[in-house]
Amino acid sequence: MSASGPAGTPGAAETPSTFRSSSDELAVMWRRQEPVWHAVAGVVWLAAVVVTCLEVPGPHGRGPTLALLAVMAVAYVTVGVRGLRHLDARSGVLYHLAVWVALLAIQGVDPGTETWLLYFALFPQLWAMLSARRAVVGTVLVVVAFAALRWAQAEFSVKGLVEVVVSSLISLGISLSLGLFINRLLLEADRRAETIDELRATQARLAVVERDRGVQDERERISREIHDTLAQGFTSVVTLTRAAQAALGRGDVETARERLALVEATAVDNLSEARLIVAELTPGHLQSRTLVEALQRLGTAVSSETGLQARVTVEGEPTPLGGTAEVVLLRTAQEALSNVRRHAGAARVGVALAYRPDRVVLTVTDDGRGFDLAADRAGFGLDGVRARAAEVGGEVALVSAPGAGTTLQLDVPR
């Protein structure tokens, strides 16, 4: 039978080797095993009482033996239980000192007693209540004391000495082997509990790191969403407002009204996008429409707002790709058209969406001024495009040269 007790008990001057774990699981296991220890102690003690009552009385009768057994029971209730729970360092020592002296006295007054049955409870209690070092010392002292008593009862004969030495060595070997084996098992369980504690601590640290990483990723996602939606919408509002002011300056009220109507429509779209970003829903351009319809609507808006000729073409049979992939494709198209409008100085831009058996390819091509890929560093928008593509296993290719326009291609697996 194994046991382990709660760690860190107050007042313990020396932590027992079998109760060293700081793991809550071992403490729980000990609390569950404690009734078993009590039951074993009670059953063995009761068996000793019954045997004493049934066997032939010794030279001094049954009275002394029963009285000493009662002393052992009182010792267990008063200090033995405290020693088993390790409520203080002295209880276990006092208990074993009392019970072994009492058992030695029983052996002295009644040499033929069968109360040696108590060994089955007392030796395991040595290892449960005391440290390994004290348990070894206690076991040796007990065996030596009982051997000396038995030799004295054999009138110090040589034959009696041989019998006592042989039986004592066997008892000592079995007791120490069993005790040390149990102690080793418990130490191994203790080390495993410490390893589990370390693993849990590591998991807790990793959870903190993952949570921080998740927060950072969410910040980056929201930054991309704002850049790809709200920032572009506000840019459109500014551009359209300036166009309306210019039309009013020329006295072209009708054109000014058209631009102001576009300003209102753009502001409404931006407001919808802001609400959807907060709610983490599908982008507004994909609400209640397909990706192809969203791209066509986007091309129409770019053409009406800036005069840039935007043409959207579709190759293959359009099929749903799932919200994440379609969001990446739409956001990439938005970012590419925004860059064309702000930086390219282009007259025409083409948006091609090709549905192929194993992938979908989005290509945005303009006839603008282009730029030197080696000299010009990509901005936040292109970084966001690459980050989005990586989320769905896609690849981004950018081709441009001064005076030759720019082509952005996004390849997304189906």
The confidence score (pLDDT) of residue 22 equals 44
Backbone angles phi, psi at 75, to 5 degrees: -60, -40
Q: Note the maximum CA span of the chain.
A: 136
Q: What is the pLDDT of residues 77-95, one digit of tens each?
A: 999 888 888 777 788 899 9
Query: pLDDT-derived band of residue 103, with 50, 70 and 90 as boundaries?
Result: very high
The confidence score (pLDDT) of residue 343 equals 78
How many CB atoms are closer than 10 A to CB 259? 23
The proportion of the chain whose per-residue pLDDT surpasses 70, expressed as a percent, equals 83
Q: Which residues neighbour 268 within 8 Å (Cβ) at sequence distance 6 or greater?
A: none
pLDDT at residue 289 greater than cutoff 50 = yes
Residue with tokens 């091309």: 299
Q: What is the pLDDT of residues 108-121, one digit of tens each?
A: 888 888 888 888 88
Q: What is the pLDDT of residues 143-163, one digit of tens each?
A: 899 889 888 888 888 887 888
Tokens of residue 6, six digits: 């709660």
Q: What is the 3-state secondary structure (H, E, C) of 62-126?
A: CHHHHHHHHHHHHHHHHHHHHHHHCCCHHHHHHHHHHHHHHHHHHHHHCCCCCHHHHHHHHHHHH
Q: What is the pLDDT of residues 151-196, one digit of tens each?
A: 888 888 888 788 888 888 888 888 888 888 877 877 787 788 788 8
Query: pLDDT-derived band of residue 69, with 50, 70 and 90 as boundaries?
Result: very high
Q: What is the distance between the alpha carbons of residues 353 and 356, in angstroms, rounded to a whole number?
A: 10
The confidence score (pLDDT) of residue 131 equals 84
Q: Which residues of 148-166 are buried (b: 16+ CB within 10 A; e: fewer)?
A: ebbbeeeeeeeeeeeebee
Residue with tokens 């007054």: 109
Q: What is the pLDDT of residues 226-278, one digit of tens each?
A: 766 677 778 778 888 888 888 888 888 888 888 888 888 778 777 766 665 55
